[in-house]
Amino acid sequence: MTTATGFDAIVGQDAPIRLLKTFIRNGTHPHALLFTGDGGVGKKTTATAFAMACNCLTLQSSLRNRPPFDAIDACGACASCKKIADHHHPDVIHVAPTSAVIRIARIRELLKTLALKPNEARRRVVIISEAQAMNPEAGNALLKVLEEPPDRTLLILTAAQPMDLLPTVVSRCRHIRFAPLGEEAICQVLSREKEVDAKVLAALAGLCGGSIARARARIEGSWLSRRDWIVGVLTDLISHSGTPDFRTWLALSERLAAKKDRLEDSLEIITMWLRDILVTGCDPQRVLNRDRMETLAAAAEKAKPAALIEQIDAVEEARTALRANTNTRLTLDAMVLRMARTCSL
Ligand SMILES: [Zn+2]
């Protein structure tokens, strides 16, 4: 197996893949699967790999010979595999939210397609990504096919957690949980995709909460240089003794507000950094910004835990307020002034 879209390409999800391979080997396919787990852990890639394996001409003919478990994977080279990998297969249907919602019109359109026989696939596969985006009408409309699945058709729904979906939808699916990825698995995948400095990669893998998608976005978006800028300014400010330097605090607020599209990231960086200073003193193993241990240790010596906790509260309250669309600059100014005052606690 060499294709980048087969089971072989998926890292850190051994249990789900073992189960899917068992379905293929035994020819016992459920009609509906629900993949849950954090964003970027490989749910959609696995769904595509499964669609490919179910329809791979080479694999299906070799199954008669009971191949070893490791060999149960799509060939990546037959006509079916190529079409699926290129998203050109008429019977592998992808449904995903548009403007954060999967509307009933999209599900009705899907039902019409499913009322017809599959064009060419041995098994038609419908992948509904972020199924929690179905509004209740869409979810209820989908129940019809979950209750009476069309011939040779498999539905795969993905979501962060089952409680995000209608219980009636969840109860009709075979539920498969995807674990968050370990740092080693994330480094392994990313180093295959891109040439990134090993130190940078290790730092990002520790900071992305087990999500490859988040780590990828952070590589693309020069997240690490933004973090370095923020922690540089912040560490100077919170280590400052005597009267707080309000002017520099407000300058930080202004620069944060200037990049509104990256504000959520910036505030998360601040929270993680303050949390890490707190954690450094008591449990260094749990530090997230592990590539900056020396700076953290120096900051931890000077910082007062009560002030750090108050500062984290200030940032978290600002994040909540900004999600409710409060005035950005005002909210950030109030946040930094509250943080500044805690330095003289
Ligand atoms: Zn194939």
* d(CA 65, ligand 1 centre) in Å: 16
CATH 1.20.272.10 domain residues, the chain: 221-342
Give the contacts of 292 (CB within 8 A, at least 6 positions apart). 203, 231, 276
Provide the pLDDT for residue 4. Answer: 59
* d(CA 246, ligand 1 centre) in Å: 64
* d(CA 21, ligand 1 centre) in Å: 15
How buried is 196 (Cβ within 10 angstroms: 0-12 exposed, 13-18 middle, 19+ buried)?
A: middle
Tokens found for residue 234: 């912040």
- For residues 54 and 153, give the distance between their C-alpha atoms in angstroms, rounded to a whole number: 11
> DSSP string spanning 204-266?
HHHHTTT-HHHHHHHHHTTHHHHHHHHHHHHHHHHH--SS--HHHHHHHHHHHHH-GGGHHHH
* d(CA 87, ligand 1 centre) in Å: 14
* d(CA 290, ligand 1 centre) in Å: 42
* d(CA 6, ligand 1 centre) in Å: 10
* d(CA 180, ligand 1 centre) in Å: 29
- Cβ contact 210:288 at 8 Å: no
* d(CA 31, ligand 1 centre) in Å: 22
Provide the pLDDT for residue 182. Answer: 87
**Annotation: CATH topology of 221-342:** Zinc Finger, Delta Prime; domain 3 (1.20.272)
- Which regions of the chain are under pLDDT 50? 1-3
* d(CA 88, ligand 1 centre) in Å: 14
Provide the pLDDT for residue 38. Answer: 87
CATH 3.40.50.300 domain residues, the chain: 7-179
**Annotation: CATH topology of 7-179:** Rossmann fold (3.40.50)
Which of 106, 122, 150, 134 has its CA nearest to residue 50?
122
Question: Nearest 5°: phi and psi at 177?
Answer: -90, 135
Q: Write the pLDDT tens digit of every residue in 221-231.
A: 788 889 999 99
Provide the pLDDT for residue 345. Answer: 65
